[in-house]
Structure 1
């Protein structure tokens, strides 16, 4: 650490006014960019005031075979120059048609006359690129579906959010006399994401044209918890009458948000004022529905080998139809329909592979496959095997949480939670706990995010997932600092790179709780303080040699930066920083004293390198 923050003085301050408060908006719009499916929902203030869950609107999207859905596919199609083309089911349809026309010799695009379909960029499942990214670069690039071209991930989120912004504005302004500045926006993010990942989403939304003062992030399982809290799901007998009621004060419930990419888990307790306290830090893992899709596609790769890879390269639209057909049938798999198999139409490119039928029906790795009348029949035993690893990981993790936390009810939400096998396995694994899969479970996050936009104060306590702090020095004490690790940090009579925490992982903070600390700044007019984070609840050093690195090492996740204008240097070269916790993201303000007078400075977290 440099000399900017060699001395720290930590104090706690009482709650301050929330810098994220949305006021009293006319309309709240929530946008959920999911790993597999995305969408938005909105509600007018007049409807919200009548009843919180009343008339939260979600547009319907038309998918394959004219089915309608409350969400559309998380597929973004960009033109060869990187400009927006289309999003969702429409993007997949446009992309497929381009390749079909190309194969038939009919492809032509007047705007890009010298380009072929492979020059367009199609991105799917891009949200997972932020999973477990604790350090992020602002211009981090990812590959498109061809694997040959790259664009900045920030641009991909910007264009995706921008699509929903335009779509929502058009729908709302068509319905009522509403202006864009009457709208408050909520963007959902997984609770297990790092602060840099959250900041990248926020930056992308602002670049998409959403005003920063009209934007808030909502944690996905928290949003689902808010929506769940407003539903009458609990059985109650009173005066001999059975009824369904809301969760009562003191009730504790676990929300398991199973989407396409991740499983996101929180535990909340209902308070007397109906607000929610988080009882355990958010946890989760890469257990989403896409793991099942990948395992299914691996069957084709294992059997057809390089010929299937060629099909993926030359006929991506046909291969994607396999994925689409499987996704539709996967949701209902496990129902007692009497069918012993799952049937998937065979794309034309695969039918042209020599001995295609023989390769499938004589597979020793996947016995029992049948090719019949243009479809492959996958036995239920093979299909159930695709779910086993995800189900095992989910139930194992939940079992660990339940060993430490008392829970009345488990609520399953998210698209993957619609799987009958998921619900069945949960009932079997935890027979003494109520397992509920409420109506509209795939829209719980979206609708709950709308509620959060109107009342962010409904989440009154959170548990920090990370330890945050700074690099400092302390006096070397030979009676205490006796390990080889300590001696590597010794510099004369001092220890360097000591982690100085402002909050440890696992600590509960109330909404708007502020931690104040002073640090030395060596430069006139500028603040730059390195911020470190780790999932370790008791970290010792911000840097370590390889042989001493703990399971969760400290990472330089970003900086607190800022500027100020003053005629003189701060008294004692000190700056007072106030970090606000208990929100869905970190916030910071700064204050100096110059010649005895307080001077406020613009300060912010810069977490994208």
Structure 2
């Protein structure tokens, strides 16, 4: 269950399924108006997701899409910073006359897809056109509404990309500024006023949020004029009913007296206060980039994409803090993920390798060795002394995994009457993990393996094969005796 702005609860699966379905139906309607002979079986759907999402979130999105009628084998996920990177690496950079590749003095650099058709409207002369170079390292800052999603890629042969640091980031997108703004309003109007406003006039509340969204995109470092916002009439009604205070009375009693003015139905906020709403998310982004640079070393370029990267304050902060790195903020940065997702759909192996964010493994009970196993883990299994709950890794955190690479393990049933086999998969935040009960380990999912029918003299061993190099962890099982391949059940929820 998830809660809306007014506190009402609804199934998350229903909300997300209908949201995906709305976009799907809209596209199909548009296609039917403009095309002939296109149906759903001709389409492979791509859903873009943050790279920092857990496996359970990916499964949730897949189930939500399938619930609305999208076939699972016609659906893929593109990681948003990867999609943006694919797009940005495919375009050519147009530099202004007199600008050098490392010059960060301009607000942004234009980008074009075709050097034969440079838009005249961008006002740039054809000084230099180039794509990212072979071996060039680039950090992608995907700064969207909810999250800052960051990856580092290196350009390879055939325009493919190699991930050199696992995806990272946090809740430092544009909505972090919104939270600061509404916290600011709640300080002197009161939380009940804001809640009343939303409950009694949601449409006006949404319009008010959109008005602030427009204003926050125009604030830059040099802004000194107060930011003016118009309050709906219903807001004053909410204030009167909740606290019996008029707006000016509430304002004069707050810490913002003299810095915030109410003139008629408008609120004028000192520019310094509004800039303060940006400080926390911007500082978090800068600090995180600094940490990544210490790990990955020198990089040639930082690409900024996503709606929050359009904010002048964000743009300036990145340029000021990293003056020796070329900063590329494409003109159509808001669409970079969308366009990159289309590229990914046609070239799903364009990112040739990724870095494992976690250590994946499964539980084994090996022969007890008193020199390496603690005595309290000694158990008897089938008359043999074994060590219980040992974590056996498929792949370790920080390992480079190429697209299409797999890791295999062989499993045997405990007895002849067993019809299926369950393998518990665990994930660890540490590189070296010994036992599934360690504090850094959690159960991820269970694989259900169908076992071959018990026949005299025939092996019932089953081999599981996990693929880690794609945007999702995929699994299949093979009967050793017959070579029959099965798709295993994978459940993270």
Q: Deviations over 1:132-161 (max 9, x none)?
A: xxxxxxxxx21233213232x122111111
The 5-angstrom pairing of residues 389-538 of structure 1 reads 389-405=280-296, 406-481=298-373, 486=374, 489-491=377-379, 493-522=385-414, 524-538=418-432
The 5-angstrom pairing of residues 295-444 of structure 1 reads 295-305=180-190, 306-334=192-220, 336=222, 339-352=224-237, 353=240, 354-364=245-255, 368-405=259-296, 406-444=298-336
The 5-angstrom pairing of residues 548-567 of structure 1 reads 549=439, 553-563=440-450, 566=453
Q: Where do 5+ consecutive residues of structure 1 fail to align?
A: 1-140
1:179 aligns with 2:179: no
Q: 1:357 to 1:491 in 2, by over 3 A?
A: same
Q: Output the TM-score relative to the length of structure 1.
A: 0.70
2:105 — aligned with what? Answer: none
CA distance in 2, matches of 1:399, 1:420: 20
CA distance in 2, matches of 1:468, 1:421: 40
CA distance in 2, matches of 1:571, 1:535: 40
1:539 — aligned with what? Answer: 433
CA distance in 1, matches of 2:434, 2:232: 57
Q: 1:569 to 1:505 in 2, by over 3 A?
A: farther
Q: 1:327 to 1:520 in 2, by over 3 A?
A: same
Greater shift, 258-267 or 553-562, is seen at: 553-562
Q: Is the 8 A contact 1:467 1:501 kept in 2?
A: yes
2:63 — aligned with what? Answer: 203
2:74 — aligned with what? Answer: 214
Q: Where do 5+ consecutive residues of structure 2 fail to align?
A: 102-125
1:193 aligns with 2:53: yes
Give how far 1:537 is off: 1.6
Q: Is the 8 A contact 1:264 1:283 kept in 2?
A: yes
Give how far 1:220 is off: 0.6
Give how far 1:604 is off: 3.3
Q: 1:569 to 1:445 in 2, by over 3 A?
A: farther
CA distance in 2, matches of 1:223, 1:477: 48
Q: Please tell me the root mean square deviation across aligned C-alpha atoms, in Å.
A: 2.2
CA distance in 2, matches of 1:366, 1:142: 37
The 5-angstrom pairing of residues 120-139 of structure 1 reads none
Q: 1:433 to 1:186 in 2, by over 3 A?
A: same
The 5-angstrom pairing of residues 8-407 of structure 1 reads 141-151=1-11, 153-177=12-36, 178-233=38-93, 242-305=127-190, 306-334=192-220, 336=222, 339-352=224-237, 353=240, 354-364=245-255, 368-405=259-296, 406-407=298-299
CA distance in 2, matches of 1:567, 1:322: 68
Q: Report the 3-state secondary structure (helix = DSSP H, G, I; strand = E; otherwise coil) of the residue aligned with 2:173.
A: coil
Q: Is the 8 A contact 1:570 1:592 kept in 2?
A: no
CA distance in 1, matches of 2:193, 2:343: 50
Q: Output the TM-score relative to the length of structure 2.
A: 0.86
CA distance in 2, matches of 1:401, 1:573: 47
Q: Is the 8 A contact 1:587 1:604 kept in 2?
A: no
Q: Deviations over 1:339-385 (max 9, x none)?
A: 52111111212323232113224421575001113110111111111
Q: Report the 3-state secondary structure (helix = DSSP H, G, I; strand = E; otherwise coil) of the residue aligned with 2:128.
A: strand
Give how far 1:322 is off: 2.2
Give how far 1:488 is off: 5.0
What is the aligned residue count?
450
1:60 — aligned with what? Answer: none
1:578 aligns with 2:465: yes
CA distance in 2, matches of 1:366, 1:401: 41
Q: Deviations over 1:525-545 (max 9, x none)?
A: 42321111122222222114x
Q: Report the 3-state secondary structure (helix = DSSP H, G, I; strand = E; otherwise coil) of the residue aligned with 2:8.
A: coil
Q: Is the 8 A contact 2:452 2:479 kept in 1?
A: no
CA distance in 2, matches of 1:192, 1:475: 38
CA distance in 1, matches of 2:281, 2:456: 58
Q: Deviations over 1:395-449 (max 9, x none)?
A: 1110010112121100111111111110111111111111111011111111100
Q: Report the 3-state secondary structure (helix = DSSP H, G, I; strand = E; otherwise coil) of the residue aligned with 1:443.
A: helix
Give how far 1:259 is off: 1.0
Q: Is the 8 A contact 1:185 1:216 kept in 2?
A: yes
Q: Deviations over 1:244-264 (max 9, x none)?
A: 211111111110111111111
Q: Report the 3-state secondary structure (helix = DSSP H, G, I; strand = E; otherwise coil) of the residue aligned with 2:44.
A: strand
Q: Report the 3-state secondary structure (helix = DSSP H, G, I; strand = E; otherwise coil) of the residue aligned with 2:344.
A: helix
**Larger relative contact order, structure 1 or 2 (CA cutoff 8 Å, min sep 6):** 1
Give how far 1:315 is off: 2.5
